[in-house]
Amino acid sequence: MVVPALEVAPAGVDPGEVLLGELNCIACHPVEAAMRARLRPKEAPLLEGVGRRVQPAYLRAFLAQPHREKPGTTMPDMLQALPVAERRLAVDELTRFLVSMGGPARVEAVPVNDLMLRQGRVLYHRLGCVACHPPFESAAAIFGGGVAGGPTDPEAVRYVLNRLHQTSVPLGDLARKYSVSELARVLQDPVAVRAGGRMPSLNLNPDEAGALARYLLRDQALSEPGSMGVERRMAPVGFEAFALDGAQVERGRERFGALGCAACHALSVGGVRLESGLAARPLLSLSAEGEGGCLSATPAVGRPYFSLDAPQRQWLGRALGDRARWSAPVAGATAVAVAMARFNCYACHSRDGFGGPSASRSDFFTALGGTDLGDEGRIPPHLSGVGGKLRVAWMGEVLTNRGAVRAYMATRMPQYGPENVTWLAEAFAAADPAVPGGELLGQVAAEAEVGRELVGVGAYACVTCHRYGPHPALGSSVMDMTRMAGRLQVGWYRQYLLDPASLRPGTRMPTFWPEGEATIPTVLGGDAERQIAAIWAFLSLGAAGRPPPGLEPLLDAPDGR
């Protein structure tokens, strides 16, 4: 079973606790309210409309042997201990019941050409999908010879890709599971189907979702590849015409409840929520050594088989044995670390020395438009001290409303759903102290015009790199100055201007006040604090401020730039 968080979780994050949440053990096993709040379990996929969304052949195969059909899945095998004939009957009845939920799925043959597949291929390997899922090719093969750092020997490339397939979130047989239109719909809004948010949205527009779906379903192409403009057709692999029988559907509905499927999967029929018929003991009464239970290598009939390995069973056993911890909530930095592990944030972001793209995935993080900012332009920012850097309101925008300022970065910030991560902005703020010194700046509105002059050409020339609203920078356009005061806490801003490397090691941002001394001594008496305060006063005007010197002539340019 693959749970990426277990690969990168820092010290202080108990892998057993993470597993209890990711396996949603409390869906069946009763717990106290404090433990439920602490675990924040991953909800199972929603099955409303699953018959329209997923092909019958895939449902049948996945129900029969989930761990063979999708190696690494956290879906348990609920039928593993049944006699062969009964297992086959149960699979057939459950399939028919699920297909009746909005189905059967339609036959669909959609157009595809090589250009669409190439677009999807680049999107999959560039936007952030391969931070969690396996890449299918090396970064050099996708992006060309300009990518450095990855293996080039064909055998080494094959070894790395094979290893990544073993340790990544599995995709399963998508070509048999989805049609192009249904997969595109899921890709645009994954949280609508997987409410737990572990599969996030990457803010795809319809064209991007369509290209990405075609690439992921490329095995559906019905003819050999042709020239870039030649269209072919795609349709689900192994499509079967499926007729529903009312009696079998009803028996499948009864099995869905009796087996306990309804404990994890919220599903209503005729407006009535299905209930689980599985009786389970309180979670903290369980033991990893129990014969035939969920944590056993050979669960008894009616018990889920999760395909846990020996370390995973040991982690779960230790977590269940430490009963004292569950009455207290996780707080502070530990709460943040656990959340980052659950949502696999460490795949992209480092925090306090842990995480960030692994060596075998790093080359898939790229910059757009030839921006030359080094790793700072392609690797998502570290989150060390981020609660003392960003305002809570802006963190909320980033987490739940697609807030973004790094337009030059190809990797997109995922959206996990407000219900899952809204609380995380406050958690970051509680975990990270504010950077002191902001009180020294004040809000000297009278000096905002001086600040405007300081960031322009002829002074510190911040406009060389930073855009200002609709006005691109004179060089590489990085973070928009009109949005800085709304994003940053003033203490962090002051410290960053005085010593950028202390807060962002390796940054290309220079310091204009080395050791607290202004490099322009003729403005505000060379007082570094007053100059930094004046710039903050100007930035606080946001989009209402006038463009700094050096950008004004662009307003009259023939092309409107």
Asked if residue 360 and residue 247 are part of one domain, the reply reads no
Q: What is the pLDDT of residue 12?
A: 82
pLDDT value of residue 381: 96
Query: Number of folded domains in the chain?
Result: 4
Per-residue pLDDT averaged across 225-235, rounded? Answer: 67
Residue 223 vs residue 61, higher pLDDT? 61
For 344-392, how does the pLDDT look when each residue is reduced to its tens digit (9 = 90+)?
A: 999 999 999 999 999 999 999 999 876 678 899 999 999 999 999 999 9
pLDDT at 558: 44
Query: Do 424 and 499 fall within a single domain?
Result: no
Task: Give the mean pLDDT of 538-557.
Answer: 81
As beta bridge partners, residue 351 has 354
| Exposure string over 502-516, b if 16+ CB within 10 A, otherwise e | ebbeebebebbbeee
For 461, other C-beta atoms within 10 Å of its C-beta total: 19
Are 536 and 452 within one domain? Answer: yes
Within 31-101, residue ranges assigned H as helices are 33-39, 50-53, 56-64, 66-69, 84-99
Highest mean pLDDT among 161-175, 291-305, 364-378, 413-427: 413-427
pLDDT of residue 287: 78
Task: Clarify whether residues 25 and 97 are in a common domain.
Answer: yes
Average pLDDT, the chain: 91
pLDDT at 553: 57
In this prediction, residue 423 carries a pLDDT of: 96
Mark whether 315 and 357 lie in a shared domain. Answer: no
Q: Does residue 233 carry a pLDDT above 60?
A: yes
**What span, in angstroms and rounded, lies between the C-alpha atoms of 42 and 20?**
9
In this structure, what is the dihedral angle of CA atoms 288, 289, 290, 291, given to the nearest 10 degrees?
120
Q: C-alpha distances in angstroms, 417 versus 240, 244, 384, 429?
A: 35, 35, 23, 20
Both 115 and 223 in one domain: the answer is yes
pLDDT of residue 229: 55
CB atoms within 10 A of CB 108: 16
Asked whether the beta carbons of 460 and 509 are under 8 A apart, the reply is no
470 and 548 assigned to the same domain: yes
Last residue of a domain, one of 405, 431, 457: 431
CB 129 within 8 A of CB 284: no
The range of the structural domain enclosing residue 41 comes to 5-105+241-327
Q: What pLDDT score does 436 carry?
A: 92
Q: In sequence order, what are the beta bridge partners of 488?
A: 390
Q: Are residues 427 and 460 in the same domain?
A: no
Q: Which helix (H) or strand (E) holds 419?
A: helix 418-431
Percent of the chain with pLDDT over 90: 77
Taking a C-beta distance cutoff of 8 angstroms, is the pair 455, 551 a contact?
Answer: no
Mean pLDDT of 241-268: 94
Q: What pLDDT score does 471 carry?
A: 94
Residue 554 pLDDT? 47
What is the percent of the chain with per-residue pLDDT over 70, rounded to a whole number?
Answer: 94
Q: Which residues are CB-neighbours of 375 under 8 A, at least 6 positions away?
A: 506
Express each pLDDT in 490-507 by its tens digit: 999 999 999 999 999 999
In a domain, 261, yes or no: yes
Cβ-contact 319, 327 below 8 angstroms: no
- The Cα 412–Cα 363 span in angstroms is 15
Do 216 and 247 lie in a common domain? Answer: no
The pLDDT value recorded for residue 8 is 66
Q: Are residues 409 and 366 in the same domain?
A: yes
Q: What is the pLDDT of residues 194-217, one digit of tens each?
A: 999 999 999 999 999 999 999 999
Scan for tokens 């190696």, then name that residue.
71
Confidence of residue 154 (pLDDT cuts 50, 70, 90): confident
pLDDT tens for each residue of 389-409 = 999 999 999 999 999 999 999
pLDDT for 146: 55
The Cα–Cα gap between 354 and 333 comes to 13
Please tell me which residue, 445 or 269, carries the higher pLDDT value.
269
Q: What is the per-residue pLDDT for 560? A: 41
As a whole number of angstroms, the distance between CA 207 and CA 228 comes to 17
Per-residue confidence (pLDDT) for residue 153, from 0 to 100:
79
76 Cβ contact partners less than 8 Å away, ≥ 6 residues apart = 23, 66, 294, 304, 305, 306
Residues 101 and 114 in one domain: no
In a domain, 58, yes or no: yes
Single out the residue in 431, 463, 487 at which a domain terminates: 431
pTM of the model: 0.92
User: Looking at the structure, do residues 487 and 550 belong to the same domain, yes or no?
Assistant: yes
CATH number at residue 456: 1.10.760.10
Of 431, 464, 479, which residue is a domain's last? 431
In a domain, 147, yes or no: no
Residues 6+ apart with CB under 8 A from 106: 52, 179
pLDDT reading at 225 higher than 60: no
